[in-house]
Structure 1
Amino acid sequence: MARSYDHLLFDLDGTISDPIDGIGRSINYALEHYGYATLPREAHSPWIGPPLFHSFRAYTGRDDETHLQELVAKYRERYADVGYAENTLYPGMAEALQALAYTGVPMAVCTSKRADFAQRILELFGIAQHFRFVDGGDIHIEKWEQMAKLRERGIVTERALMIGDREFDMIAAHRNGLSAAGVLWGYGSREELTAHEPAHLLAVTTELHALVPLCEGSRI
């Protein structure tokens, strides 16, 4: 018998929406401000998923905590103003979320992005009502640690499903005893995702509908 899920946890960037323009322009805003070379659009993809602090450290080669926090703060300055809105909802996502919401299974967002930014994006697309809560990250917080806190507090159980486009989502789920679904319309490759043996691998947003009968209490 197929496993049923009592909660669906969604990553945001690269899973629900495509954030590359807002993230990329805000990265360049911060880099330029502090005298670093900016990046072309095609070089922004690896920045989507990991915590920004780590990405700035890898790019600049600096370990100066204060400076790296300054870069993150400068990024957020532009992102809070306009970057969050330079975002595109993936085709078919609104319909898939509506179908999943109809099952009655609780849904939430678990993202490395700050929670207030994530909430504004959900409201921008008119889909915030589908999610019971938004769990956001911050500097030095890994996604698996976010999920561990949700487990410790009893907010989600081991029967929750994490849905995301990067290996960080798969790792976070498995380290906390959850199943994971990898999505291929975001920024993680098939090889990156399959290396972590997700329970589901979805190629297009319409395949989210296949999760409907697996949702506990589904009306379908």
Structure 2
Amino acid sequence: MPAYDYLVFDLDGTLSDPAEGFVNSMNHALLAFDYPTRPASELVPHIGPPLEITLAKLTGSEDGPHIQALVDKYRERYGASGYAENTLYPGISEMLERLSQKDGIRLGVCTSKRADFAERILKQFGLYHYFEFVSGGDVGIAKWQQLQRLLADNRISKRALMIGDRHFDLSAAAKNQLPSAGVLWGYGSRTELDEHGPAHLFAHPEEILNII
């Protein structure tokens, strides 16, 4: 029997690289409210956390309605073109294809990104059919709450492995007493991931196959 019955993947920084669409959409939102645009080097480290957290940090604002308006402006561009600017990490398609052929392994996605955007990205890369579910986030919903709901709804079991590139993914799993794994091709450093005690650290997508 495999050690895990569900493999739950983060999207941004784990399955695909959102950098171009993220940077362009973030600057679209900032410019719309008269904030200075930022170079990619300043914005890319913010990939991963929920949008409202990132926009609050970038603007220094604690005004909830204002932050929501910024999120809406980001999503305006992201929904029109930003999602299509994602690129797939090498080896992801092959890894998912091989996982889909393994008995007793079920696949899902849990992302802070809104579910409809996540589904569009997966479909554009021909990956959507590999996953039983796509759990998307929204303002005020943390990833640990998404996993909590998946458990409560029996969409996953306690033998689910959360796989992601940032500490948010690993800490969300820990809060629900789930094991986690970090990937090193995304936006989190080895140090960031190690601090949260992952059961596995993967340097290449094909290494995920080794655990089953």
Q: TM-score, normalised by structure 1?
A: 0.93
* Corresponding residue for residue 62 of structure 2: 63
Q: Any idea what SS the aligned residue of 1:44 has?
A: helix
* Corresponding residue for residue 90 of structure 1: 89
Q: Per-residue deviation at 1:173?
A: 0.7
Q: Any idea what SS the aligned residue of 2:7 has?
A: strand
Identify the range of structure 1 (89-98 vs 42-51) with the bigger mean alpha-carbon deviation. Answer: 42-51
Distance 2:157 2:174 in 1: 12
* Corresponding residue for residue 151 of structure 1: 151
Do structure 1's residue 103 and structure 2's residue 114 form an aligned pair? no
The gaps in structure 2 that reach 5 residues or longer are none
* Corresponding residue for residue 38 of structure 2: 39
Distance 2:207 2:4 in 1: 16
Identify the range of structure 1 (85-94 vs 153-162) with the bigger mean alpha-carbon deviation. Answer: 153-162
| Percent identity over paired residues | 53
Q: Per-residue deviation at 1:155?
A: 1.4
The gaps in structure 1 that reach 5 residues or longer are 214-220
Distance 2:166 2:106 in 1: 22
Do structure 1's residue 54 and structure 2's residue 53 form an aligned pair? yes
* Corresponding residue for residue 195 of structure 2: 195
**AA matched with 1:41:** A
Q: TM-score, normalised by structure 2?
A: 0.97
**AA matched with 1:69:** Q
* Corresponding residue for residue 217 of structure 1: none
Q: Deviations over 1:81-138 (max 9, x none)?
A: 0000001100010000011111141100000000000000000000111000100000
Q: Any idea what SS the aligned residue of 1:185 has?
A: coil
Alignment RMSD (CA, Å): 1.1
Q: Per-residue deviation at 1:46?
A: 2.4
Distance 1:9 1:22 in 2: 23
Distance 1:39 1:118 in 2: 25
* Corresponding residue for residue 132 of structure 1: 132
**AA matched with 2:69:** E
**AA matched with 1:152:** A
Distance 1:48 1:170 in 2: 15
Structure 1 runs of 4+ with >6 Å offset: none
